[in-house]
Amino acid sequence: MDAGALRRRNLSAVLDLVHRHGGVTRADLTRALGLNRSTIGDLVAVLVEHGWVDERDDAPRSGVGRPSPRVAPSDTRVVAAVNPELDVVDVALVSLGGQIVARRRVDLDHVPTVAETVTLTSHTVRELAADNPGVEVLAAGVAVPGLVRGRDGHVRLAPHLGWREEPLAAPLSVALGMPVAASNDAHLGCRAEQTFGAGVGTGTMLYLNGGPSGIGGGLVVDGRPMDGTAGYAGELGHLGLDPEGPACACGARGCLEALAPRDALVQAVGLEHPDDDALEAALVAAVADEVGGDAARAEVARQLRWLGIALRGAINLLNPERIVLGGHLAALWRCADESQRASLIADALPASAAEVTIEPAALGSQRLLIGAAELAWDGLIAAPIDAVQGAAVATA
Ligand SMILES: [Zn+2]
């Protein structure tokens, strides 16, 4: 590797660490990257000069010697994150470190088409940028409830949205005038939780995402995402549990997502268009209500039973260290009593389940947007200096 390539790789490695930890000291960087202090000082200076990081003298002082200033991510460089769903297009600006700077949920009374999603997104991103003067939107990522071809962001099938073989990243990139990537929503939720949430530091992790468009999943094996041959692994919502069960959007019967739909929980608490945080709060309150909570308690118990049957198969297959539940599945977990929680893994093989812990997603209703942003950050963090020089040329 020549000196220029090595330097670019090191700049990317420094920015990646600052991003993942939301800020680090120079001493942390020296330790983590095995580079000497003067090299780290030089790399940080380049990133400061190009606007990616600031140095702030607010690190906690400990030990002896000079305090190490904190290298913090710029809060003006942002990416746009988008999550189209059955009745909403959710749009956010996300800064380095996975922080949502601004967010707007555009409620709809119908299922959006791809063309409508592109128009609404580009309009909303411009509005959010105008409301936040000083931010610079560099790229965008889309979390799609369906199967997406990673290399070009082409939607193969999003059954609940009725999208089939539709280009998405390409037209949105034209509309926004910036690079756009798209991927499956549950894979991105998994990535967000692994990077910033309930899965940090885990080796083998299973993530289940419950949303208006059904249940998806993501897998992490030995600390790396396991996407399958073509990127479509982890579709745990279509584990077949009951051959006589209700018809599923995939065409089969008795899949987990047909047996444990978010909509049934929304109906049990009588809300309209709740986001995940609102649904969870209402469901927890309803289940705790001794007088009026019977319908909610019964639906929660019914869905937990099917979730336990699905997790039995998944645990026996993967022997995971952690299972993270997102969306309405996190709400189910929060509503469950101790015995219901224990029952989720009770029928798995004891050896396979011995070390597993189940946790609700730590990022709540932000997880899919933060995951979509990660996709947008990929290209920028891989080549931070090229990225801003490219942007400067594009706007010149
Ligand atoms: Zn199915």
| Cα of 184 from ligand 1 centre, angstroms | 16
| Cα of 233 from ligand 1 centre, angstroms | 14
Instruction: Find all residues with CB under 8 Å of 341, minimum gap 6, and list them.
Output: 333, 358
Neighbours of ion ligand 1 (CB under 5 A): 238, 248, 250, 252, 255
What is d(CA 192, CA 115) in angstroms, rounded to the nearest whole number?
A: 27
| Cα of 307 from ligand 1 centre, angstroms | 14
| Cα of 87 from ligand 1 centre, angstroms | 21
| Cα of 331 from ligand 1 centre, angstroms | 21
82, containing H or E segment? strand 77-84
What is d(CA 340, CA 357) in angstroms, rounded to the nearest whole number?
A: 14
**CA atoms lying within 13 Å on the CB side of residue 124:** 25
Q: Tell me the Cα Rg of the chain.
A: 22
| Cα of 237 from ligand 1 centre, angstroms | 7
Question: How big is the chain, counted in residues?
Answer: 396
**Vertex 169: Cα angle to 163 and 171 (nearest 5):** 90
Tokens 């967000």 correspond to 192
| Cα of 147 from ligand 1 centre, angstroms | 13
What is d(CA 263, CA 240) in angstroms, rounded to the nearest whole number?
A: 20
| pLDDT tens, the chain, 396 aa long | 788 899 999 999 999 999 999 999 999 999 999 999 999 999 999 999 999 999 987 655 555 566 668 999 998 999 999 999 998 999 999 999 999 999 999 999 999 999 999 999 999 999 999 999 999 999 999 999 999 998 999 999 999 999 999 999 999 999 999 999 999 999 999 999 999 999 999 999 999 999 999 999 999 999 999 989 888 899 999 999 999 999 999 999 999 999 999 999 999 999 988 889 999 999 999 999 988 899 999 999 999 999 999 999 999 999 999 999 999 999 999 999 999 999 999 999 999 999 999 999 999 999 999 999 999 999 999 999 887 775 544 433
Q: Which two tokens stand for residue 371?
A: 């995951």
> Could you give the C-alpha distances from 281 to 85, 284, 328, in angstroms and in order?
21, 5, 11
Burial of residue 47, with CB atoms counted within 10 A of its CB: 0-12 exposed, 13-18 middle, 19 or more buried: buried
| Cα of 254 from ligand 1 centre, angstroms | 7
| Cα of 310 from ligand 1 centre, angstroms | 13
Instruction: Find all residues with CB under 8 Å of 264, minimum gap 6, and list them.
Output: 299, 303
Domains, in order of start, for the chain:
3-73 (1.10.10.10), 77-187+367-395 (3.30.420.40), 199-362 (3.30.420.40)
